[in-house]
């Protein structure tokens, strides 16, 4: 595993990240290399958007991990960010991708790369796809993608005790629509991928369980064996941003969470 720091944020790159190279458009080694480096930079920029926005809101121990088909940003549940701030953190990753990818896209349309080498042109196109187009797609309201986490946070603002539950249902409907549309346009890989992440987002996460907790002073319902206290599904950026944004689950004030419990945030 490769480790380095992006400012104050540690970055871990798992060896499985090299799977990215297998889904690129090129066949020559130099084309595969250009694609992989472009996607690496795009995913890192996406996750940096999540990480530095979370830090700006007071979260500490923020970390980025890049892995097969995406990345994830984590920070402790003790950050206790409001739904509004979690919405911004969720949106920030794709926003960065759209801005930087859009800038390169405009340069492409403006003819900046017309006389560039084939290697440079492949790198630029790969970056535009990974940063801009995936950033836009990642805002589809399907959990655990950024759009699904944004939807959850927005609903928690207007319906604090039902927001995550409603978002789970909406995510399932949106995912089903995208799967059907993908098959209709003969994109089976996209359909299978969306179906997979939609099923991931359909399970109840800690935020939804927290919404069902009784008010302070009322007895808690029996705990069912097997429910995990781990964070929700991952956020992905890049060709497959399974990097979904996973905001810190809410906790009752009289039950402070352990300081070292991290929460997966956004798969790429």
187-211 pLDDT, tens digit per residue, is 888 889 889 888 888 876 655 555 5
Question: Does position 212 have pLDDT exceeding 80, yes or no?
Answer: no
- Cβ contact 75:89 at 8 Å: no
CB atoms within 10 A of CB 29: 9
Which pLDDT score, from 0 to 100, does residue 210 have?
A: 57
Q: How confident is the model at residue 24 (pLDDT cuts 50, 70, 90)?
A: confident
- Going by C-beta distance under 8 Å and a sequence separation of 6 or more, which residues neighbour residue 232? 143, 144, 201, 205, 206, 207, 244, 246, 249, 263, 264
DSSP state of 239: T
**What is the pairing mode between strands 262-264 and 70-76?**
antiparallel
Q: How many CA atoms lie within 13 A of 75 on its CB side?
A: 30
Average pLDDT over the chain reads 79
Question: Does position 258 have pLDDT exceeding 70, yes or no?
Answer: no
Which pLDDT score, from 0 to 100, does residue 267 have?
A: 53
Q: How many CA atoms lie within 13 A of 25 on its CB side?
A: 14
Which pLDDT score, from 0 to 100, does residue 21 have?
A: 75
Which pLDDT score, from 0 to 100, does residue 158 have?
A: 92
Which pLDDT score, from 0 to 100, does residue 17 have?
A: 87
- Which range, of 96-105, 141-150, 223-232, averages the lowest pLDDT? 223-232
pTM, rounded to two decimals: 0.76
Dump pLDDT digits (tens) for 215-230. 444 443 332 322 222 2
| Domain boundaries of the chain, sorted by first residue | 2-212+231-252
């Amino acid at each position: 595993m490769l480790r380095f720091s992006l400012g104050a944020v540690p970055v871990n790159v798992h060896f499985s990240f090299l799977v990215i190279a297998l889904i690129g458009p090129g066949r020559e080694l130099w084309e595969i290399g250009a694609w992989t480096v472009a996607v690496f930079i795009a995913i890192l920029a996406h996750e940096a958007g999540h990480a530095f926005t979370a830090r700006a809101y007071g979260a500490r121990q923020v970390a980025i991990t890049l892995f097969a088909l995406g990345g994830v940003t984590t920070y402790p549940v003790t950050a206790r960010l409001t739904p509004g701030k979690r919405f911004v953190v969720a949106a920030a990753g794709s926003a960065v991708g759209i801005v930087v990818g859009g800038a390169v896209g405009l340069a492409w349309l403006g003819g900046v790369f017309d006389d560039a080498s084939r290697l440079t042109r492949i790198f630029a196109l790969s970056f535009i796809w990974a940063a801009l187009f995936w950033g836009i797609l990642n805002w589809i309201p399907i959990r655990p993608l950024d759009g699904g986490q944004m939807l959850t946070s927005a609903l928690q603002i207007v319906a604090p005790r039902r927001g995550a539950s409603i978002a789970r249902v909406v995510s399932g409907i949106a995912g089903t629509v995208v799967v059907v549309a993908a098959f209709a346009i003969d994109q089976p890989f996209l359909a299978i991928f969306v179906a997979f992440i939609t099923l991931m987002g359909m399970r109840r996460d800690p935020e939804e369980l927290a919404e069902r907790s009784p008010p302070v002073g009322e007895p808690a319902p029996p705990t069912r064996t097997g429910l995990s206290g781990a964070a929700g599904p991952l956020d992905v950026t890049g060709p497959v941003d399974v990097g979904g944004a996973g905001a810190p689950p809410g906790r009752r004030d009289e039950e402070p969470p352990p300081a070292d419990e991290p929460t997966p945030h956004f798969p790429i």
